[in-house]
Amino acid sequence: MTESDRQKFYTDQLRALVSEKETALGRRLTFCVVTFGCQMNARDSEKLTGILTEAGYKETDSEQADFVLYNTCTVRENANERLYGRLGHLNHYKKSHPETVIAVCGCMMQEPAEVENVRNKLTFVDIVFGTHNIFKLAELLYTHLSTGERVFDVWEDTDLIVEDLPSKRKYSFKSGVNIMFGCNNFCSYCIVPYVRGRERSRKPEDIISEIKALADDGVVEIMLLGQNVNSYGKNLGHPITFAQLMKQIEEIDGIKRIRFMTSHPKDLSDELIETMAESKKICRHLHLPLQSGSSRVLKAMNRHYTKEQYLDLVDRIKTAIPDISLTTDIIVGFPGETEEDFEETLDVVKKIRFDNAFTFIYSKRDGTAAAKLPQVPEDVIKDRFNRLLSLVQKNTSEVCGRDIGKVVEVLTEEADSRVEGMLTGRLSNNIMVHFEGDSSLISRIVKVRLLESKGFYYYGRLEE
Ligand code: SAH
Ligand code: SF4
Ligand code: F3S
């Protein structure tokens, strides 16, 4: 029996149980999945939602549901605090609705100390599992419902990739596609390698057949997901590069836009730059985390590139793809960061003028190498953070309007929630545009003239 057959068996068992309960209650059983963190977690949540839907549960946005599942993030301390706040509220609700089943999964549950906290202090949590065994949800939930026992199942690491999981997409026309799991880079500040395990690439044929099925189902845009997509395929039995994979994906009929996240600068090849430059489908957007502009700090971060190498890489990218939009991540206040180091970061930001930069205050994560280093005082970090943020915002408002007056292709994504009759779409370079139009255009690629720039977004007019 394969793992996916085993899980189909448990899904059937669970469906019977759900149906029995629904008959007794005279109503449908509901579930709510709350997602924290990155695109990887968002994609995992689509799979968890797929499993619960197959088992007969009905999805709801409200946390006042029969089954509530928190898919957690632990990349920074504030992510953890937010989870505990939400759980506190739910505990209150459960007191008057004792049938409510509460589960916690995701990155935070890969940390033994957090699991112990839930086990001993948050006794109203019924089920805990980690990032490596999300495919077991039906089995874990069935076990809890049929025994009434709390279920804890966290794996330290895995080399297993379970294919053929059901999944329920959030959007009909776009989808994330995992191409690899885990991370081997151990940047010294980062907890992800500890909670997501070692790097594992999916086989190209599995990725291609998933994307073909998505295209047949009306998906026009895909986002290839991995912590470091540029090292895709290196450890497969038949090694293949990320650029080669992209070329195969490009051939798939129906797919009109290809995006990917995240690129580590140290592994971004000329082959990839060339493939992007030649491609009609790969979007004109690259998220290329800088983290710091100081070569000394970059070394301490274990990033394997210098300031000069990063600048040179960006130069090569901009020469080959002049209309590229660049975004980045920057950490302020890494242990030992001096004023001079920070000024190097400002210097890179001034030189490159990113379309946008996500700026983070360094957060100490237990177990990572940097956690043992002397920390920068909080007031110094706050001051640097504010200086960086205002530079980033100034750049964004100046740079993002560069296509004003042009007619561009836009994927219409949704009706504007604020103004009746307005639609929201996205340019190839990931910038948003608001324009007047009928909601029948949603999921279609249309031509829009860009009339006014608001920094992060445009106002435009539908052409033709
Ligand atoms: N794999 C991706 C990043 C994943 S985490 C990459 O290498 O680019 C997303 C972002 O969170 C990182 O780029 C980094 O800027 C930030 N981050 C990670 N750990 C952090 C920490 N301990 N404190 C503050 N920011 C952190
Ligand atoms: Fe974290 Fe670095 Fe891996 Fe990104 S590449 S997930 S920052 S360890
Ligand atoms: Fe957070 Fe896990 Fe993503 S720690 S950023 S959800 S990989």
CA atoms within 13 A on the CB side of 440: 1
pLDDT recorded at residue 3:
86
Q: What tokens does 4 get?
A: 């996916």
CB atoms within 10 A of CB 339: 9
Q: Which ligand is closest to the CA of 345, given by its number? A: 1
The answer, yes or no, to whether any atom of ligand 2 lies below 6 A from the CB of 76, is no
Per-residue pLDDT reduced to its tens digit, 254-310: 999 999 999 999 999 999 999 999 999 999 999 999 999 999 999 999 999 999 999
% pLDDT > 90, the chain: 91
- Summary mean pLDDT of the chain: 95
Choice from 107, 131, 198, 199 to test ligand 3 binding pocket (greatest atom count within 8 A of CB): 107
- Cα of first residue to Cα of last residue in the chain, in angstroms, is 56
Spacing, Cα 198 to ligand 2 middle (Å): 11
Spacing, Cα 431 to ligand 1 middle (Å): 22
Nearest CA to ligand 2 atom 1: 190
Bridge-partner residues for 201, per DSSP?
180
Distance CA(127)–CA(125), nearest Å, equals: 6
Q: Give this prediction's pTM.
A: 0.94
Nearest CA to ligand 3 atom 7: 192
Per-residue pLDDT reduced to its tens digit, 19-60: 999 999 999 999 999 999 999 999 999 999 999 999 999 999
CA 277 to chain centre: 25
Distance CA(250)–CA(282), nearest Å, equals: 8
- Residue 464 above 80 pLDDT? no
Helix (H, G, I), strand (E, B) or coil at 405: coil
Q: Which ligand is closest to the CA of 385, given by its number? A: 1
- Residue 81 above 90 pLDDT? no
Spacing, Cα 249 to ligand 3 middle (Å): 26
pLDDT recorded at residue 82:
87
Q: Which ligand is closest to the CA of 111, given by its number? A: 3
Spacing, Cα 79 to ligand 2 middle (Å): 17
Distance CA(296)–CA(272), nearest Å, equals: 28
pLDDT recorded at residue 370:
97
**From 165-169, 193-197, 307-311, 367-371, the region with the lowest mean pLDDT:** 165-169
Spacing, Cα 18 to ligand 3 middle (Å): 31
With residue 204 as reference, give the H or E element that holds it: helix 204-216
pLDDT recorded at residue 211:
98
Helix (H, G, I), strand (E, B) or coil at 361: strand
